[in-house]
Amino acid sequence: MRRSASPLSLVILGLGVFLLVLAPMLAWYVEPRAKRTPIDIDTTTVFTGKGSYFDTGEVETLENQNLTITRQVRGDVADSTDEVAAWDVVQSVDPDKSLPASSPHDSLQWTQERWVTDRETNRPVHCCQESPYFEGEAYLKFPFDVEKRSYRWWDSTLGATVPLDYAGKRKVQGYEGLLFTAEVEPVKTGTRQVPGALLKSKASQVIAEEWYANHGIELVVDQRTGRIIYAQVGPRKTLRMPGSDEDAVVLLDSKKIAFTEKTQKAQVALAEDDSSRLQLVGQTLPIGTGALGFVLTVVGVLLVLRGRERPDPGTPDGPGATTPAPAPVSAPV
């Protein structure tokens, strides 16, 4: 007897082996290449809160006013590559009277920047007309697979990095993320020439010192993607007489300016979508594919080992065997 595998058993075995090879490829090859900062991004995030600001028309600081921070981020696909993401960022700070935030001329603060980062590590890449020069490891987003540790976050107003401490987990619109917090103590950030009367000086012009602090920074981050789903800041900008340790004029001050509910929901929706895709490629498909491949391989091997029993050609007892003709007998003469 001899054994021969059926075509079906070979197909099952081949498919099982293919799936076993595909599973680690999805986890170790496809998923890492899916974890790339997007370059075709076009999003707007809005912060709102109460605070004080210096009104140049009234020439005084107005208290308890509505303040809005509007930030628009657009990816520059032409200047981005497979390794580098170039994002153009426009941000404005406005009271109600200068909304909508569409012009730099009447905003309290208006900045235009270009952020260039490594698409895999989120580290800064100093090229492609980057402005300003920045450092750190967390900016408009965090790296993929955020860890429960401190991160160096770049504060554009400060012009330096701020250590963000991990502070546990927090849910935003029902979606759980990692919370990071920090404060910025008052620090001199530059100088500005202003009328002496503004600082109650007899001089016609004074080179005033610009000071910056932050009452509190809170960022809630999606762990898998590094997307910020909630942000809260408490900026304070003031002017001081040269050498003084007292604030003379408050330019901007708010204890809390945070993502609006609409922005929170939009960021959570994007985080859920991106995270589920990465989970599908990195966990669900590899596990499912590997398990199915293992089962099919075992079944295929068993079917091949069993085979189909067939007799060898010419076997006397087998189907189609023939009885040899008797030898001729010689007749006596």
What is the pTM assigned to this prediction?
Answer: 0.78
- 190 within some domain: yes
Under 8 Å between Cβ of 31 and 279? no
- 318 within some domain: no
For CA atoms 30, 35, 40, 43, give the dihedral sign. Answer: positive
- 21 within some domain: no
Question: How many structural domains is the chain composed of?
Answer: 1
Model pLDDT for residues 136-175, shown as the tens digit of each residue: 999 899 999 999 999 999 999 999 999 999 999 999 999 9
Confidence of residue 187 (pLDDT cuts 50, 70, 90): very high
Q: 74: which residues sit within 8 A by CB, 6+ positions away?
A: 41, 42, 87, 88
For CA atoms 92, 97, 99, 103, give the dihedral sign. Answer: negative
Alpha carbon distance 165, 163 (integer Å): 6
By C-alpha distance, which of 93, 105, 102 is closest to 237?
Answer: 93
- 2 within some domain: no
Which two three-digit tokens encode residue 249? 């004029």
Q: 41: which residues sit within 8 A by CB, 6+ positions away?
A: 73, 74, 75, 87
Domain residues for 228? 35-259
Q: For helices 7-25 and 285-306, what crossing angle results, to 10°?
A: 150
- 156 within some domain: yes
By C-alpha distance, which of 153, 160, 154 is closest to 189?
Answer: 160
- Mean pLDDT score, 192-212: 92
Alpha carbon distance 61, 198 (integer Å): 11
- 8 within some domain: no
By C-alpha distance, which of 103, 133, 111, 120 is closest to 37?
Answer: 120
What pLDDT sits at residue 130? 92
Model pLDDT for residues 213-252, shown as the tens digit of each residue: 999 999 999 999 999 999 999 999 999 999 899 999 999 9
- 284 within some domain: no
Alpha carbon distance 287, 289 (integer Å): 6
- 193 within some domain: yes
Better pLDDT: 318 or 128? 128
